[in-house]
Amino acid sequence: MQDVSKLDQAALNLLDHALGYMYAAALRGVAQLGVADQLAAGPRTPAELAAATGTQTAFLHRTLKLLATRGVFREDEDGRFHLTPEADALRSDAPSSLRPAVIMLTENNFWQSATEFPATMREGKPAFEQLFGKSFFDYMVNSEDAAVFHQGMASYASAGNPFIAQSYEFPAGSTVVDVGGGHGGFLLTVLRENPGVRGVLFDSDYVVAGHCLDELGADDRWELAPGDFFAEVPSGGDFYVLKYILHDWSDEECVSILRNCRRAMTPGSRVLVVDSVIPPGNEPHTGKLLDMFMMLVVTGRERSEEEFASLFAKADLRLSRVIPTGSPVSIVEGVAG
């Protein structure tokens, strides 16, 4: 005879999963309203927060109570709300603030794409492209959403930069080429951590124009190299970093990028792919969640170690090791095949 209580609980769990998007929606709301900024000086009541953010007390209170169940904010016995480590990262002035990343990841074009999961699975194409008539990256070139995307990606990437930079040894005198390096947040971290290292920031011209490397002041250890990694990458580097790049592209496109890196390498050079490495089994992993995002938005995917090894082999590279970083991504190191 079936255990009815277990069946009922399974059904209730399923309903919780179906309502899970409410957490993301609530998180977006408080990020846009700057609620965390209002708690930087200490805990406040819902009424005080509502007055400061121009919201209705009861509605804000209900939203904060939901987020507190996930550890984002904490309500005390007196009904005041406190910052938690997660909520603190929503402050606009927090070191490595994730507020822009939260706003970017919950933009309307991504919500719309998520509603089209069946179409994506049927057609084998990103829902984003079917909805908006062009690829995600073509859309972003001239979109008014581009600033939100680039700010959000810089924020998203910055959270893991110290973990990644400290997980790999860059010898003094070496040159790090950050391929598709965006505004240079990771390269900035590497150069700060390694005073004897030089860096090259390589990305589209309109992207590198917004670089942050001048935060190093008079330091002249870096240079900008605008270009297209599907055409070529700068030669002569010791380390070619592809951080959050390969997961954007199909296997064929990844092999093209890797081959260009291989052509640019000198003896002893290495390719460092920084992406999630999907483990086997049924355990939760951030990479599995991110893989769904990739499937809906771009032609890429998150990959297993074996899949990275296959990509490397097709580009005359050999996967030499996978280095955990203490963050959701790993460093997949490739050497000449």
Residues assigned a catalytic role: 247
* Residues 6+ positions from 218 with CB-CB distance below 8 Å: none
Rounded CA separation 269/115 (Å): 43
| Residue tagged 């070496």 (tokens) | 174
Rounded CA separation 258/98 (Å): 30
Which is it for the CA torsion 136, 142, 145, 147, positive or negative?
A: positive
Task: List beta partners, residue 201.
Answer: 178, 224
Residue 223 φ/ψ, nearest 5 degrees? -145, 155
Task: List beta partners, residue 179.
Answer: 202
Rounded CA separation 188/72 (Å): 29
Nearest to 204 by CA among 299, 140, 132, 133: 140
Rounded CA separation 292/157 (Å): 18
Rounded CA separation 69/118 (Å): 31
Contact 260, 232 (CB under 8 A): yes
